[in-house]
Chain A
């Protein structure tokens, strides 16, 4: 009888515990990261009797949580991917919509500038048309500068988000390390500290939003966390500090470092996934290349127009000054350099100029140029001196001073060009509309020779505007100014002197002259404007394969497709993440109907046990009554 009582009491106690687990489940129905718990019932072995083992009731051995390491891992992985693509696509989309405005976009600005030159060509003496050229140049410059400004703003946003993310990662890593310590202590009793485990999983989920993580559980319940290519972030109760490091070439750009055996190791290249991974990739894949391409287009416009300005005459009869300023080649020495060498670089060829960045490294006295985009070494000609500079990739590079072994310099041919793109001229009278020189056949010529218009090949020739005559001593020979070497005449062949080149065709007679003189005074000439227009429309970039407008269009569509790809990846990863989260929720989340049923079940069981006590009491009473009456 006593056994029945004890057995029933064990049931009462067990179901009380079970009901308290159920009530805890119901209370946590809305707690994120809470895993549904269940009381584990274990029957008591009981006493051996001649009639066999009589059970001793029930016991709650432990409270377990519904949890799957596999599903949680899948959820974290998809969370990292989604965060990464989402961050990438958010930044890329802002660049995309900046470039996509068809009314004020780069293509439209370039075309407007070309149109303004056409309008001026219709009547080169019109000051209003000249003013319109300067205005459209101004708006082209503003548009390019504006883009460069927005890109550098986006870059700054990224730097500040990188800092914030690193701080978040550190705080989450510390949290996980602390929980590790507590979990190890609490697990010593042999019972799982479910709430702490849930909390740690929740922190791990948050961490996976910032960076992709790998985990390994130890026997004592501690969890080790790794990032990147296996760098330890949390090891038991210790969290390693992730830090931001200034880039050795560019201190305003932040790299990621992690403390490892006393030193800080640069792990920027190894970081992947999460907000941090997304930020680092959008910086290197979208922002930097866009800035470089914008720079290349700016250099193109400035080169073409400025060269032609010099090759033409303004309304005052002087050779034109540069219309556009453009940022110079950016050369940055590494902070790790030990020598004192000064490296300077200038652009020499527009068509050979690339949008890539390069490093120039002193390898035991031999300088090596390395293309950071193609990851290939680049062969340089020259000796690197001022007299014989290194030439490669449309650049001329001069090294002065002594460099330490291994010293390296980052050379960015176009990165700083767009930010420095501005209009230098202020007055329409400074636009060189007219050709620099004009040609004419002598008035008394008796032959049939005709002279073509001259083109300027070297605007810096001091004798460019000096009057020159080509004098024919016979129908097959000529001299420049009637003296010096005698040249053989070939109809249509180039005749060059004083920085210009022209050609004569037909049959000149002996004594015929052809004059090449300054075009000053012909203020209505538009020849040079057409040279500018033709230059802007020509395939001048990337080895003569791409026009300026073509490059601008390619840039728009490239950023567009990067954004599109990131958006669709983000969407796909969101779907994966949703389904992984649903799988975790469906396994670990609380279902109220289930809890209601459990509640009813445990209530009924509890009532039944109580009834057993009543029944045992009745049995006892019956026995006492029988003895008393006997």
Chain B
């Protein structure tokens, strides 16, 4: 076969250029550590890498969200612990006050102490988080949730709390509204409240009572009226008599699936009320108790009934704090669980990205050596072949 001199030389130089380009490419892979430089290297792989990176970034965001939610919820848990302690002290004071041997002045002293507990509780309920938002204002984050006025403590926060996304398909409440924590606490025993009429002259007091048969309970306002110290009848709001009987000190009055206990001796004409329970705020409970203790001329029966009612309310509030506390704990656990699984997901994603983009050093180094060898051979053979010419021998 005939080879032209120019053709031989240009082919040889072209081949060397091709080899040099291959070496430059391998060198670039080795120096950057990336085998996927642009999408043209592996179009499907690049799309996967972008998708995986987006997932990785989202997952990291969810972990950060979880950290914010954790900080908020831990703060809420601390506040709830504080509120529980305050309320527990208030309860102790109420128990102490529930003693007919105390003088009006002594009760006034307890009332003063309770006033302090009330202020503590309001301060706790108005606490702010690290971002400067009120912890218990719901999503009205910048509105003071509990304002105190002559009429009592009113809630001005929102009824909704924010959700925070802690995984691609999981959003949790980052807090609780002040309404659900401090305001909407079921009054009385949760089903009904009891009260003694202010005009009672006897020494009988009424307990908060219990429900014995939920199905038989008909929500209505009932009056327990004593026609004599030993005779009573229970009437509903339309005046119909639902129960009646004779009474001795410490007897239980039962009707429509509920029972209440009366202690002491009522006078003829004394009345006690059993009404369906609404909700009460922990603040109004404490305010009411303070008012009771500060009122000088209450009968012992009135005092006992009202303090018993307040204790029942305080227990309800403590129970409410507890269940919110438990739900906060459950949410914190959910965050930890989702963060743990996010970490293992991130490890997998990172490994997948790496396998698509990172260079295999062993393979690349081997490839570089073989390419170098090929270039050396091409250069050496060119140098020796190019110098061959018949003209060298014609003398």
Interface residues of A (CB under 8 A from B): 29-30, 32, 36, 92-93, 96-97, 99-100, 102, 105, 107-108, 110-112, 114-115, 118-119, 121-126, 434, 438, 440, 453, 521-527, 530, 533, 549, 552-554, 556-561, 563-564, 567, 578, 581-582, 585-594, 596-597, 599-600
Closest to B159 in A: A440
CA distance A238 to B165 in the complex (A): 75
Binds A, one of B129-137, B210-218, B298-306, B370-378: B129-137
From A126, A557, A590, B43 is in contact (CB under 8 Å) with A557
What are the nearest 3 A-B pairs in CB distance?
A: A589-B4, A560-B39, A524-B141
> B interface vs A, CB < 8 Å?
1-7, 10-11, 14, 37-44, 46-47, 49-51, 53-54, 57-58, 60-62, 64-65, 68-69, 131-133, 137-143, 158-160, 162-165, 171, 174, 357, 389-391, 394
Closest B residue to A92 by CB, please name it. Answer: B40
With A524-B140, A526-B139, A556-B39 as known contacts, state yes or no: A124 contacts B3, CB within 8 Å: no
In-complex Cβ contact of B390 among A556, A561, A596 (8 A)? A596
- Nearest-CB residue, chain B, relative to A560: B39
A-B contacts besides A29-B6, A100-B38, A588-B4, 4 pairs, CB < 8 Å: A125-B132, A554-B47, A590-B5, A594-B2
Q: B residues within 8 A CB of A521?
A: 140, 143, 158
* Given A526-B162, A592-B391, residue A561 in contact with residue B58 (CB < 8 A): no
Q: Assess the B7–A114 pair: CB atoms within 8 A.
A: no
Q: Is the CB of B69 within 8 A of A556?
A: no
| A-B CB contact pairs (8 Å), 25 listed | A30-B6, A93-B38, A102-B53, A107-B51, A108-B53, A111-B58, A115-B57, A118-B165, A121-B65, A121-B162, A122-B68, A125-B142, A521-B158, A523-B142, A524-B133, A524-B142, A525-B140, A525-B158, A552-B50, A553-B50, A560-B42, A560-B47, A563-B38, A563-B40, A589-B4
Contacts A107-B50, A121-B162: A593 and B389 contacting too (C-beta < 8 A)? yes
Using a Cβ cutoff of 8 Å, how many contacts connect chains A and B? 200
CA distance A318 to B3 in the complex (A): 84
CB of B162 within 8 A of CB of A567, answer no
User: Within 8 Å CB of A600, what residues of B?
Assistant: 394
- Among B4, B141, B394, which residue has the most Cβ atoms of chain A within 10 A? B4
| Smallest Cβ-Cβ distance to A101: which chain B residue | B38
A587 pairs with B389, CB closer than 8 A: no
User: From A35, which residue of chain B is reached at the shortest CB distance?
Assistant: B4
Pick the contact of B46 from A29, A30, A100, A596 — CB < 8 Å? A100
CB-CB under 8 A from B389, the residues of chain A are: 592-593, 596
Alpha-carbon distance A533/B143, docked complex (angstroms): 26
| Most chain A beta-carbon neighbours within 10 Å: one of B7, B38, B159 | B38
Complex Cα–Cα for A591 and B2 (A): 8
Closest B residue to A534 by CB, please name it: B165
User: Considering residues B132, B162, B163, which has the most beta carbons from chain A within 10 angstroms of its beta carbon?
Assistant: B162
**Residues of A contacting B54 with CB < 8 Å?**
107-108, 110-111, 549
A563 touching B139, Cβ below 8 Å: no
B65 adjacent to A578 (CB under 8 Å): no
Whether B46 contacts A560 by the Cβ 8 Å rule is: yes
Contact of A530 with B131 at beta-carbon distance under 8 Å, contacts A97-B38, A100-B46, A122-B69 already known: no
> In whole angstroms, what is the CA distance A199 to B166 when docked?
75
Q: State A594–B174 Cα separation when bound (angstroms).
A: 91
Asked if A115 and B139 sit within 8 Å, CB to CB, the answer is no
With a cutoff of 8 Å between Cβ atoms, the chain B residues found around residue A530 in the complex are 163, 165, 171
Write the chain B residue with the least CB distance to A110.
B54
A597 to B2, CA, bound (A): 14
**How far apart sit A54 and B138, CA to CA, in the bound complex (Å)?**
126
On whether the beta carbons of A585 and B6 are closer than 8 Å, the reply is yes
For B50, list chain A residues within 8 Å (CB): 102, 105, 107-108, 549, 552-553, 556
* Contact B43 A524, beta carbon cutoff 8 Å: no
Identity of the chain A residue whose Cβ is nearest the Cβ of B390 in the assembled complex: A596
CB distance from A80 to the nearest CB of B (A): 19
In the bound complex, how far is the Cα of B43 from the Cα of A105, in angstroms? 15
Q: How far is the CA of A564 from the CA of B44 in the complex (A)?
A: 11
CB of B140, distance to nearest CB on chain A (Å): 5
B75–chain A nearest beta-carbon distance, Å: 13
Contact of B10 among A93, A123, A434, A585 (CB under 8 A): A585
A587 — nearest CB in chain B belongs to which residue?
B2
Q: How far is the CA of A96 from the CA of B137 in the complex (A)?
A: 51
**A596 CB → nearest B CB, Å:** 4
B residues less than 8 Å from A557 (CB atoms) = 39, 43-44, 46-47
Question: Among the listed B43, B65, B138, B390, which residue makes an inter-chain contact with A122, where contact means beta carbons less than 8 Å apart?
Answer: B65
Return the chain A residue nearest B60 by Cβ: A115
Report the bound CA distance from A560 to B43 in whole Å: 5
Asked if A99 contacts B39 (CB within 8 A), the reply is yes
Which A residue sits closest to B175, measured CB to CB? A524
- Which residues of the partner chain B approach A582 to less than 8 Å between Cβ atoms? 7, 11
Contacts of A32 in B (CB 8 A): 6
Q: How far is the CA of A554 from the CA of B44 in the complex (A)?
A: 9
- What chain A residues lie within 8 Å of B68 (beta carbons)? 122-123
List the A side residues contacting B5 at CB < 8 Å. 29, 589-592
Q: Are B43 and A561 in contact (CB under 8 A)?
A: yes
Knowing A523-B140, A524-B140 are in contact, say whether A118-B49 is a contact too (CB < 8 A): no
